[in-house]
Structures are given as C-alpha cells and as structure tokens.
Structure 1
Amino acid sequence: MEDFKSLSRIVSTDFEVDDILSEEALRARLIEAFAYLLDNNISKMMNILYRTDVNEEKLKALLISNSNLPSAEVIADAYISRQKEKVETRKKYSR
C-alpha cells in the first residue's frame, strides 16, 4: 500500500490522480489519459515521457511487439513501469 501511495504521488506530477485507490484504477486512468494525448496533444505526451525518463527505444520495441494492444495501453504500462522503478530506487536509498 505504501508503494502505491508513492507511485500515486509521483504520477500526480503529470496527471490528476488524487481520488484513485487502486493500481488497476490508476492504470485505467493513465490509459485514458495517454489515449487522449495521442489523439490531441502528442507533443505534451512526448514531453511527459521524456521528463519521466521512459526509454524511447524500449518504448518503440514495446509498441512493435505489442501491436495487438492499443498504443495508449502499452505507453501507460511503460510509464507505470518507469515510475515503479523510481519508487524502488528511492526506497532502496532512503534506508
């Protein structure tokens, strides 16, 4: 639960997620947000991914290997994965 709170806190710098109580709901909100950004503001989406340090080459490979899934879902999962890495790193070095 503490990890989810940390994850929510990090994600809230890019998206409004204050009322989300589960990782599944967070993922659903992010898929929706990335779908919107893909359709309406791709430069903002790219900026978010750049600031979050989502590896561009890794993301391209994920999009290709998961071409059966909606792009927004693959992007949201990559974003969440990167944010989880940050949570783990912070936890590891804050002891």
Structure 2
Amino acid sequence: MDDLKVLCRIIGNDFELEDELSAEQLRGKMVYAFSWLLDNDISKMMNILYRTDVNEERLKSLLISSSQLPSAEVIADEYISRQLQKIETRKKYST
C-alpha cells in the first residue's frame, strides 16, 4: 500500500475522507477542516493535534514565522507532516 493511501486511512480516523484522494485533494480537505475547527471547535482541534502528537512549540513557531499564510494551512501542513513521519517510523521498524 502506498504512503498516500496509508495517510488517507490514518487521517480518516480523525476526519471523514474518501479512500482515493490525491495529495492536493487531501491537503485541501485538511485546510478546510482545520479552518472550520479554528472557527467552530478549537478544543476538538487541539485534541486531534494532541492525539497526533503534533509538537506544540514547533507549531507555535511555524504559525509565527508563517504569518503570511492562513493558520489553517500551517496547521494542516504540520498535521499531515506528523502523520507522514509516523508512517515512515512504522515502515522503518516493521522490517
């Protein structure tokens, strides 16, 4: 199974997703989801980021240094990046 399919499956635990998404579609859906969460349910967003083990200090730093980008984009990119790191770690230790 390729990394994108695994990524969609893992992210599907936190968000409702279709099975077959391109990387661009996945990012777009995550940006939309985090934008909605920022506006409507910050505690749920924080819970998702906590369970995903997104580094809070790194995220704060990215939000400050990327102030020209919408916060939802920065958060979505970091969330996806963390999920990809977890996939790589699992692959590394499953052989």
TM-score bin, normalised by smaller chain: over 0.9
1:42 corresponding residue in structure 2 = 42
**Partner Cα separation in structure 2 for residue 71 and residue 63 of structure 1:** 6
Q: 1:41-93 deviations in whole A, cap 9, x for unaligned?
A: 00000000000000000000000000000000000000000000001011111
**Partner Cα separation in structure 1 for residue 13 and residue 40 of structure 2:** 20
TM-score, structure 2 as length reference: 0.96
5+ residue gaps, structure 1: none
Q: 1:1-55 deviations in whole A, cap 9, x for unaligned?
A: 7011111111011011124421110000000000000000000000000000000
For the 8 Å contact 1:20–1:26, the answer to whether it is kept is no
**Partner Cα separation in structure 2 for residue 3 and residue 32 of structure 1:** 22
Secondary structure class of the residue paired with 1:83: helix
**Does residue 14 of structure 2 align to residue 14 of structure 1?**
yes
Aligned residues with identical type, % of pairs: 69
2:2 corresponding residue in structure 1 = 2
Aligned pairs for 1:76-91 within 5 A: 76-91=76-91
1:28 corresponding residue in structure 2 = 28
**1:46 partner amino acid:** M
4+ long deviations beyond 4 Å: none
TM-score, structure 1 as length reference: 0.96
**Partner Cα separation in structure 2 for residue 71 and residue 46 of structure 1:** 14
Instruction: Please give the root-mean-square deviation of Cα atoms over the aligned residues, in Å.
Output: 1.0
For the 8 Å contact 2:5–2:19, the answer to whether it is kept is no
Q: Which moved more, 1:1-10 or 1:24-33?
A: 1-10
Report the number of matched residues: 95
